[in-house]
Every structure is written in C-alpha cells, then in structure tokens.
Structure 1
Amino acid sequence: MSVSCTLGVDIGTSSTKAVLVDETGTIVASASRAHGVDRPRPGWVEMDAGVWWDEFVGLAREVCDARPDARVTAVGVSGMGPCVLLADADDVPVRPAILYGVDTRAGAQIARMTRELGADEIVRVGGSPLSTQAAGPKLLWVADEEPAVFARARRLFMPASWLVRRLTGAYVLDHQSASQSWPLYDIEGECWREEWWDRYAPGIQRPRLGWASEVAGAVTADAAQATGLPAGTPVTVGTIDAWSEAVSVGAHGPGDLMLMYGTTMFLIATGEETLRTPSMWTTAGVYPGTRNLAGGLATSGALTSWIAELSGADYATLLEEAAASGVGARGLLALPYFAGERTPILDPDARGVFAGLTLSHGRGDLYRAVLEATALGVRHNVATMRDAGADIRRVVAVGGGTQGALWLQIVSDATGLVQEVPRVTVGASYGAAFLAAGAVSSEPPLIEEWNPVASTVTPARDAAADYDALFDLYLRLYAGTRDVVHALADRQRATAFQERS
C-alpha cells in the first residue's frame, strides 16, 4: 500500500535538506547535503546555483528511494534569501548568486539609491530603509561593476524560485521574497514598483508574484526524468527559508515571534499591521493579510563552528566547559559581529570583539561568551521590535541550535523570553512540506497537530540582574569600539586588495 507524502526541500547557507512527510506530519525519510559558500573578497558571499539544482535532484531521489512505498502528492521548496541570481534568456546563470545580508558589497549602490529616491520615500513604499539585506542594490551593483554580465541577464531568481523554474518552467516569486527586494516592491500595494524596477533593473523581466502556499505549476517531463518525481506533481511557489521555518513551528500568527537557531540567527515577528522602523526589516508575510517585522544576526552557529575548529574540541566538550564557565563567562564579553552585523545596528563594517581576556580564560569561556553574545544580540533585536510596536506574546524556537539545551537556556535567561520548542525542529524543509500539503488537500492540515510543542524553556530568575548588566556593557562595548573596528575593516579590505594585485 502506498503512503501519500509531500516532499519539502530547503536550500540553506551550509546545507540542503529534504524531508518526505506523510499526511500526519511524520517525517518518513530525510537526507541532507553539506555545502559551502564562496567568499572571493571581504564582504562578498556567493554560491554557484548549479549546486542548488544538483542537490535537489540527488536528495529527491535519495528520500524517495528510501521509501519506495511513498507517493509524492506535492513538492514544497524554500531557500536562503533574499538572494540575487541573474540568468540569461535560456535560464543559464550569468554569474554566481549574490547571497542575502551577509554579503555587504553594495554599500555604494545603497547610498546612490537612497540619494536618488529619497530615504523617506523608500521606507514609505517598501517599508524599510536600504541595507545589506536588500536585493535591489545588489542588482544595481552587478549593473555598475559587471555591465557586460548584466547586459546578458533577463531573469531574477532566488533559491526557491530557481527550483520552481527548473521543476515547472514557471517564472514566479513569492510576495515575501519580493518584499525583501527593496526598493523594487510596494508593500501596501503588494506589487512591483514598476518605475523603480525599470530604472534599476532594465532588461530584467519581472517575475509573476504569488503567495508561498500557492501552486506555481507542475513537474515537467524533463524535470521528472532528472528527479524521479512523477510528471504533473504540483509544486508550490515557496519562500525564504526563515519564513518557511516559522511556518514549520506554527509561529506565523499575530503575536508570534520565531527565533531561528542556525548558521545565522533570524527573528520574525508577525502581525497584521505594517510596522516601520529604520533598524529592522518590514516585509510581507507568508500568507495574505500578514506582515512581519524581521531581523537577523549575521553570525550565530557560525561562531560556535569557528571556535570548535580553532580549538579542535568537540561540541560536547565545549558545551560542558561553557556550562562550567557560568553566567558572564568569568568576566568575558563578546560582540558577535564577525561578518558585520545586520539588525538592529545595520553595520557591515562591524567586527567581532572579545573584551576582558586574561591568561586565565580558556576555550570554554570563549565558547560561553559567543553563546551569550548571540543571546544579547537577540535581546537587542527584540527590544527594537517592541519599540516599533510589535506585540510579541509567544516565542517559538526552531533550527539546529535548539538541540543544545545550554544555548536555549542562555537566550531565555538573557532576554527574559519563554521559548516553546516544538517536536520537530528540522526547520524550513518541514515547513515547505507543510505548505505543499495544504496546497493540494481538501482539508488542509493544522501545524499544531503536525508539530506540537515538546518542551518549554523558562528564564532563570537569578540570572536576570547579571544579564541586565551585561546587556548594558554589550551596548557600550559596540559604541566604544565602533571607530576602531571600522578602521580595521578598512585595513582588511586594503590587505585583500593588495593580495589580489
């Protein structure tokens, strides 16, 4: 007897993940492929889009082969973003994809667009000021710096929409992803700002807009031959991975805040009102009628990986030593801005800082300090969201970092937030499978039935005063070192230029 399943695939920063999920929400097969990103220059983060399709093909075949009794009824996709992948008229990429806010190359284009369009008008139309997260300035960067490449470009893709194109032939982008293509999308009109698109992306066809849960098209014969999926299988429009993660844990209703623990940390607060603040991102939601205030740390899990690699210690050892270090890491404080920072400081030239180091500090203290740094970064973002009017009543944690009890507890202690941890925390691929199931079912599933809450993390009252003091020092440390690290960032760029020359 066959088992009806939906396939969910997510293209992440460090891996691609696939899940087969049955009608009850049970994962019946899963697989992943690790990959890296390219950093050809300081501030540049790119990826070959060929990897996205190759990994989708391999993973689709792997999970389906693992469950030959599975009948795939729909496919859902998601991916990191907002990214800029430009392709020619034959859908051949003209250059590697430029990734989301961790890529900071387009500073001059951000300044130019802001000057030409007006900062207030950009915020009025799109909801947010331009920052490294915005896709629009990166399009302009290609036009300015690689004009011959830009001249060949005809279409704009992000990871999810690229998979949809390869699977179905549809050229479509979801509203949520489009709303991060500042300044090219009108947040209230839920449409492209055509005159600005034509000004800054001439020759690039505007993708049709759809909602993440809508069916974009069906698997073509060619895609079926490549992937092993049945021709005619519906494929949803999909969305950016963090928003799919929010869906995966039921954290996309008014009053919800999702915390995504991954290579980077991401936060999404959901409401029905369009909130604007200069230091966060205002976006459309996954579903019609919803709006988000979002933010992200440029590094989080990347920092723990960095220390593990430098020290040569395994994670279990580091966690044990970090727990023994205690609140405040024995007088050590870190800023987590190792790849610049996104929200709320919007500073691509910020850099990582350890303050208070002595010869008595060990790797466990360093590890504790970076866990606390990400927690204080979350606190900074949440405070900014609330100041902007976000009504945060429920917090749900998701992502690979939720497997570490210490990190979760530190975040709750440092922020005062109670965090719900659902049964399934694999994230975006599971959310993509859920959206696909809802798109083709006469009785759409409920996420609280698919993925109920498994545990709750409550702040320790005796840690509150310590973290209040540390948060004040955290803010003062950035303010006090900003000029120095900016000068060092300039030196890093100069050094990289000399090495290339």
Structure 2
Amino acid sequence: MAEQLLVGIDIGTGSSKGVLVRLNGEVVALSEQPHHLSLPRHGWAEHDAETVWWADFKAICDELVAAADGEGEIAGVAISGIGPCFLPADENAVPLRPGILYGIDTRAMAEVHELTEKFGESRITKRCGNPLNAQSIGAKILWLRRHEPEIYDRTRYFFMAHTFLAHRLTGVYYLDHISASYSEPLYDVGKNRWIKKWVEDIAPGLPMPELKWPTEVIGHITVEGAQRSGLPEGIPVAAGTMDSFADAMSVGVRKPGDAVVIYGSTMSIVLVTDESLPSAQLWSNAHLFENTYNLASGMATSGSLTKWLRDVCGNTDFGELSKEAEAVAPGSDGLVILPYFAGERTPLLDPNARGTVIGLTLNHGRGHLYRALMEATAYGARHVLEVMHDAGGSGRKAFAVGGGTKGGLWPQIISDITGLTQEITEQSVGACYGDAMLIGVAGGFIDEDADWSPRVGTIEPNPDNQERYDELYDIYRHLHPATVELQHKLAAIQQG
C-alpha cells in the first residue's frame, strides 16, 4: 500500500502557500505563489477569487501533485485563508465581484456605526464576544445591500477564501465556527450558532452556510472537483479555518492557556480559553475544537512595516537592515513609532489611526528606524497582552511562528518589551502546515494531540532592557491619545 500524504494550502494576503507532508509531519514538498493585493479605492482591499484564490490554489495543487509522484498517494486536503472576508456568489457559486477582505478594508464603517446603534454595543458584545469593527462581516453584507443592490439581489452564497475553494472541490456550502464568530453580529459565540433574527434583518434572502468545526470532514472531492484541481477524486476535505488559527494548530496551540504570536504582514496573538471572554477591545471567538474558545488580536501592520522601509530604502536587503538594527541600542536612542500605518485593529479598533514618529533627530539613521519599527510592533503586542489579561486571559509563555521569527532579533525585542517567553519550533512553514494537521485529525490519519513541531529554542526576556523599554512603552501609550485628534484630521485629508 502506498504511503499516505496530506495536503495543506493557505491563501494569504500577499501570497499563497502549500505543503505536502507525511503522516509523521515530514515535509515532502512546499509551494508558494505570490499575488497582488488590490486597493481600488482608499479604504478598500480586495482579492479576485478566480485570478488570485483559485489560480493560486490550482498552481499549488499542480506542484504538490507532481511532487507526490513516487512518494505516496494524497489522502486528504485542508485549506485556510485570510479572513474574515466576504465573497458574494450567485446561484451557481460564481463570484459576483472581488472578495472584500478583512479589517484592512474599512469601507463599511458607516454600517458598523449604524448596526451598533440599532442593536446596542453591550448586546452585541455579550452575544458576539466583541463589538462591531472594520472587519465585521455583517456590516460588509449591509454595505453590499446598500451600495451594490443589484449584486446583493443575485447573491446566494457567502464565501470566505477557504470555503470558496472547498466548495469547488466538494459542492458543500459551509463555514467553520471560528470564521463564523468573526461575522458579527450574525453569530452567537457562546451558543455556537447563527443569530436568526439578526441574520434575517441584515442579510434577508441570503442563506447562511452550515456550521462546521475546523477538524470536521465537510465532504469528499467530487468528479468535477478532481477534474478542476488535479487532486484525487473521493479524498476527504476538512473544514479548515482562517490562517491565524491554522498557524495556531501547526504549533499545538489547542488547549486553554496555550498561546501563539504570529509574525506576518500583520501580527496576531491568539490565547486559548475554556470559556467565552467577551472584550470590547479584542476578538472573542470559537477555537479549533468544540467547547474551546480564544481571545484573539490582529494588528493592522507588522511585517508590512519593515517591507515598507525596505522599499523606501531602494529595496535594500532585509539582512543588511537587520545588521544595522542590531547595532542600535534597545530603545533606538529615544525614537518611538506608532505602527498605525494602515489604521489599527485590536486593541484600538480605529481605522483612522495613523503612523506617528516622535523623537527623530539628525543622529538617527535607517538602522534606528528599522529597529524602532520592530519595537513599535512589540509595544503594540504588549498593549494587546495587557488587554487580554484584563479580559480574564492568562499566560506568560507562547509559541512564535512566521517569517519574522528568522534571525532572532525581532522575537527578542518582543520578549524584552512584553516580558513574554517564546518557544521557537523546528517548523516555520506556517498556516498550510496547520492545514495538513487539520485534515490529519479530521480524516483520522493522526491523533488529535499529534505534535509535528519540536521546540528548538526558547527566547527569554533580557532583564537588562526592562527599565528602558518600560519608560518608552509609557511614552508609546501616551502618544496615541495625545495625537489622535490630529491623526483623524490627517486621515480625513487623505480620504479626500
């Protein structure tokens, strides 16, 4: 009998990644497809489902299927993706417009305020786990009804990136509980079900997808799905979920008290809890398994900041910038940056926040700026962790995953500023690796507690840097309230 192999594929903001693994977690092959983010108007962020999501998925499948030849047979697949996002599709599941992306798309803020006033912020927070915000799917659906009514009238499916692709493989219309819990105010996070009255009010005539847990098999690849994708007919497909939570799965963040810091284009922190902990500044969600929950955060920028500086500096090599930053003392010689270059998601929930640099002198160079940008995300992470603690979450240890963990400087800055101990794992493949684990569990190929990511290092806070960082963090926390009115005025100018 041929060896069984698992496929995991993740659709990201700037690229899609896939992995082919053995049942012991050994990576057989990796595939990556870069793509562009569409920003057609100020405050809009979109992906075309055909030319980005499906094209990437098909190209990755082609590479992984070819790589499986002679190694074994593909036995199952799971998909994750950016989210929450909203793709309307017609009765034949054909997309009607580009997918509207998560909180970096702020077009529906008027609808956020309208629905908050209509249903009440306290009621929404109690039932949905958090207030409405820029990425709430209910507000985006209402935006579509109001601004593109001819499209809404034809809409019969509500997809996210991973469910659109899974539907193409199986024909099943579903949404995982984690993604549904980001669909405020349509989903009750404490009862794990749609809120029927609010659904009927906000999305009349639009059937809500069937709810599944990420580790459930939602169906098997049909004849048509196999012809389209090149994957074997009849193999199981797991529900999958949004990318941050597939990342959490990849390093074993599954039980209450587990936490993960995800270093990507944006920075996410996920803390697993045993009960729903509503928060006005975070996202309180269902987690990977039934009867588990989490407190989650997502900053609007992170790796995108360092990429921005690299591009501004003429596409300078990241390694060169890192060396210059390492030569700068902790605290960047009194330079503090607010990282709100794309507004801010948690914990501010302020799409009109703007990046701010204070303390700049002629003695500062690009190494100072590069380090200060990494420190800015670390101050933001500390702010998030403090809000998580205030909401009832606990934990001083977390796994670190993502491309930003390479090299060691950024994770060390995060630990020094937050006081958090971080475990570095052998695998840094990311969400697609977690997807392979999801189908492994869902299909009964591996145990629920399987561990594919041995720890290869631990990053402890350096106490020598605590006093300086505490002082600068206090400045960081005072800086936004002191300048928020000016930030909003500048945002208004930028928005025309």
Which residue in 1 is equivalent to 2:237?
Answer: 235
Which residue in 2 is equivalent to 1:290?
Answer: 292
Asked whether the equivalents of residues 23 and 445 of structure 2 are also in contact (C-alpha less than 8 Å), the reply is no
2:75 is aligned with 1:67: no
Asked whether the equivalents of residues 343 and 381 of structure 1 are also in contact (C-alpha less than 8 Å), the reply is yes
Aligned-residue offset at 1:92: 1.1
The equivalent position to 1:345 in structure 2, one of 322, 326, 348, is 348
Q: TM-score, normalised by structure 2?
A: 0.98
Which residue in 2 is equivalent to 1:426?
Answer: 429
Please give the per-residue CA displacement for 1:311-362, whole angstroms capped at 9, x wherever unaligned: 0211011000011112111221100000000011111000111111122211
2:382 is aligned with 1:379: yes
Aligned-residue offset at 1:18: 0.4
Segments ≥4 residues shifted beyond 3 Å: none
Asked whether the equivalents of residues 440 and 446 of structure 2 are also in contact (C-alpha less than 8 Å), the reply is no
2:368 is aligned with 1:361: no
Aligned-residue offset at 1:256: 1.3
Distance between the aligned counterparts of 1:96 and 1:228, measured in 2? 25
Asked whether the equivalents of residues 68 and 74 of structure 2 are also in contact (C-alpha less than 8 Å), the reply is no
Distance between the aligned counterparts of 2:91 and 2:387, measured in 1? 43
Where in structure 1 are there 5+ consecutive unaligned residues?
495-501
Letter in 1 for 2:4: S
Deviates more, 1:197-206 or 1:235-244: 197-206
Asked whether the equivalents of residues 255 and 393 of structure 1 are also in contact (C-alpha less than 8 Å), the reply is no
Asked whether the equivalents of residues 248 and 447 of structure 1 are also in contact (C-alpha less than 8 Å), the reply is no
Which residue in 2 is equivalent to 1:498?
Answer: none
Q: Secondary structure at the match of 2:214?
A: coil
2:310 is aligned with 1:308: yes
Which residue in 2 is equivalent to 1:497?
Answer: none
Letter in 1 for 2:182: Q
Aligned-residue offset at 1:107: 1.1
Distance between the aligned counterparts of 2:387 and 2:339, measured in 1? 18
Distance between the aligned counterparts of 2:232 and 2:245, measured in 1? 27
Which residue in 1 is equivalent to 2:399?
Answer: 396
Aligned-residue offset at 1:380: 0.3
Distance between the aligned counterparts of 2:69 and 2:295, measured in 1? 42
Which residue in 2 is equivalent to 1:125?
Answer: 127
Where in structure 2 are there 5+ consecutive unaligned residues?
none
Distance between the aligned counterparts of 2:450 and 2:107, measured in 1? 39
Distance between the aligned counterparts of 1:145 and 1:105, measured in 2? 11
Please give the per-residue CA displacement for 1:365-399, whole angstroms capped at 9, x wherever unaligned: 11011000000000000000001110224311111
Letter in 1 for 2:352: D
Distance between the aligned counterparts of 2:346 and 2:471, measured in 1? 21
Distance between the aligned counterparts of 1:154 and 1:364, measured in 2? 51
Aligned-residue offset at 1:404: 2.9
Asked whether the equivalents of residues 249 and 447 of structure 1 are also in contact (C-alpha less than 8 Å), the reply is no
Distance between the aligned counterparts of 1:256 and 1:310, measured in 2? 38
Asked whether the equivalents of residues 408 and 457 of structure 1 are also in contact (C-alpha less than 8 Å), the reply is yes
Q: Secondary structure at the match of 2:249?
A: helix
Asked whether the equivalents of residues 396 and 421 of structure 2 are also in contact (C-alpha less than 8 Å), the reply is no
The CA RMSD over aligned residues, in Å, is 1.1
Q: Secondary structure at the match of 1:266?
A: strand
Distance between the aligned counterparts of 1:447 and 1:351, measured in 2? 42
Aligned-residue offset at 1:2: 3.2
Letter in 1 for 2:420: L
Distance between the aligned counterparts of 2:81 and 2:446, measured in 1? 27
Letter in 1 for 2:35: H
The equivalent position to 1:475 in structure 2, one of 474, 477, 484, is 477
Aligned-residue offset at 1:116: 0.9
Distance between the aligned counterparts of 2:179 and 2:67, measured in 1? 32
Which residue in 2 is equivalent to 1:436?
Answer: 439
The equivalent position to 1:370 in structure 2, one of 370, 373, 385, is 373
Q: 1:439 to 1:216 in 2, by over 3 A?
A: same
Letter in 2 for 1:176: I
Q: Secondary structure at the match of 2:79?
A: strand
Q: 1:85 to 1:104 in 2, by over 3 A?
A: same
Letter in 1 for 2:238: T
1:27-426 aligned within 5 A: 27-50=27-50, 51-69=52-70, 70-312=72-314, 313-426=316-429
Letter in 2 for 1:289: N
Aligned-residue offset at 1:446: 3.5
Distance between the aligned counterparts of 1:149 and 1:26, measured in 2? 45
Asked whether the equivalents of residues 83 and 158 of structure 1 are also in contact (C-alpha less than 8 Å), the reply is yes
Deviates more, 1:420-429 or 1:64-73: 64-73
Aligned-residue offset at 1:191: 0.7
Letter in 1 for 2:272: T
Distance between the aligned counterparts of 2:366 and 2:154, measured in 1? 50
Aligned-residue offset at 1:133: 2.5
Distance between the aligned counterparts of 2:406 and 2:65, measured in 1? 27
Please give the per-residue CA displacement for 1:128-158, whole angstroms capped at 9, x wherever unaligned: 1101121110111111111112111111000
Distance between the aligned counterparts of 1:479 and 1:242, measured in 2? 29
Q: Secondary structure at the match of 1:325?
A: coil
Please give the per-residue CA displacement for 1:163-193, whole angstroms capped at 9, x wherever unaligned: 1101100001000100110000011221111
Distance between the aligned counterparts of 1:365 and 1:203, measured in 2? 54
Q: TM-score, normalised by structure 1?
A: 0.97
Aligned-residue offset at 1:251: 1.4
Q: Using the aligned pairs only, state the percent identity.
A: 46
Distance between the aligned counterparts of 1:30 and 1:2, measured in 2? 20
Aligned-residue offset at 1:106: 1.0
Asked whether the equivalents of residues 249 and 425 of structure 1 are also in contact (C-alpha less than 8 Å), the reply is no
Letter in 2 for 1:485: Q
Letter in 2 for 1:318: L
Aligned-residue offset at 1:57: 1.0
Asked whether the equivalents of residues 256 and 393 of structure 1 are also in contact (C-alpha less than 8 Å), the reply is no
Distance between the aligned counterparts of 1:119 and 1:68, measured in 2? 54
